[in-house]
Amino acid sequence: MAARKKATTAVSAVAKLEAELASLKTQLEKARSTQEASAKKDADKLSKDADAAAKKAQAAQAKVKAAKAKKKSAAQQKQLKAAQAAATAAKKAAATAKAAATDAKSKLATISAENQLATKVAKAVAKEEAAITKKLAAADKKQAAAAAKKAAAAAKKKAAADKKKAAAAKKKAAAAAKIKAAAAKKKAVAAAKKKAAAEKKKAAAAKQKAAAAAKKAAAKAKAKAKAVSKKKPGRPAKKAATETAAKKPGRPAKSTAAKKKPGRPPKATAAKKAPARRGRPPKTKA
């Protein structure tokens, strides 16, 4: 995440620099265009002035020729000198104007050449900038991909660790549950065994008590019968009833009678009837 943020910040800084550079280029191009237009305007004006000065020089020269052709009086001589001076001045002005126009044209050509070169350089710089931007974007993309790959690997590793931890916890819980179940089973078996032993002991005690009571009752009955036989002379006393055996605790034993078989009882074996004779009965003999 930090690497991605850093890369984003770097890209933002580069984009800001690119925007500033583009703004400066626009301003420079505008200034150069203005300078070239101004130089062209000045050159055109100076060329026109040079043409006008040349025309004036030609007119002055024509006046000088016209003055020379006339008779040479004092006034004419004076006019000729004035015309010659004006022609010289006009010629000089024309030469100056021509030189200025040439200089302006030269300056314009220099500015145009510089602007063309600057445009060419700007194109080359723009191309280089595009290549650098592309390279930076590729590097950022590669870095982002590496960061994403690293994050995915870390997430996968964490998931595997969590899965392993969960499996270990599940195994531990299963083992604990198994131990608890075994302990509960052992406890239940021990309790059942203890209860069965207690019930067996109780039953044995009850049996022993019943046997002792029966023995005591038999001894008492025997003593009573003996006492009765001693007291009454003459007719002997009836024999005491057979002492009943002590009743055993629990359900009485089943009788040894034959058990009834399950299902329908078999049919009685009746005498078989003779089969009927077919046809006419035989005649009796007379």
- pLDDT tens, position by position, 130-176: 888 889 889 989 999 999 999 999 999 999 999 999 999 999 999 99
Question: Which string of b and e fits 82-108 if b means at least 16 CB within 10 Å?
Answer: ebbebbeebbebbeebbebbeebbeeb
Cα 186 to Cα 11, 178, 190, 198: the distances in Å are: 73, 12, 6, 18
pLDDT at residue number 54: 79
pLDDT at residue number 142: 92
> Looking at residues 72-83, what average pLDDT do you find?
73
Q: How far apart are CA 50 and CA 96, in angstroms?
A: 8
Tokens representing 67 are 């003055």
Most confident of 57-71, 102-116, 122-136, 149-163: 149-163
- With beta carbons less than 8 A apart as the criterion, state whether 35 and 107 touch: no
Span 202-223, pLDDT tens digits: 999 999 999 999 999 999 888 8
Question: Which string of b and e fits 126-152 if b means at least 16 CB within 10 Å?
Answer: eeeeeeeeeeeeeebeeeeeeeeeeee
> Looking at residues 10-26, what average pLDDT do you find?
69
> Looking at residues 175-180, what average pLDDT do you find?
94
- With beta carbons less than 8 A apart as the criterion, state whether 71 and 94 touch: no
pLDDT at residue number 247: 55
Q: pLDDT: is 276 or 169 the higher one? A: 169
Mean confidence (pLDDT) of the chain: 78
Most confident of 62-71, 179-188, 241-250: 179-188
Place of tokens 């009943």: 244
pLDDT at residue number 145: 94
Q: Which residues contact 215 (CB under 8 A, 6 or more apart)?
A: 246
Tokens representing 225 are 């019968």
> Does residue 272 carry a pLDDT above 50?
yes
> Does residue 65 carry a pLDDT above 80?
no
The H-or-E segment that residue 2 falls in is helix 2-69
> Looking at residues 64-93, what average pLDDT do you find?
75
Place of tokens 């690119």: 18
> Does residue 82 carry a pLDDT above 60?
yes
Q: How far apart are CA 42 and CA 54, in angstroms?
A: 18
pLDDT at residue number 243: 46
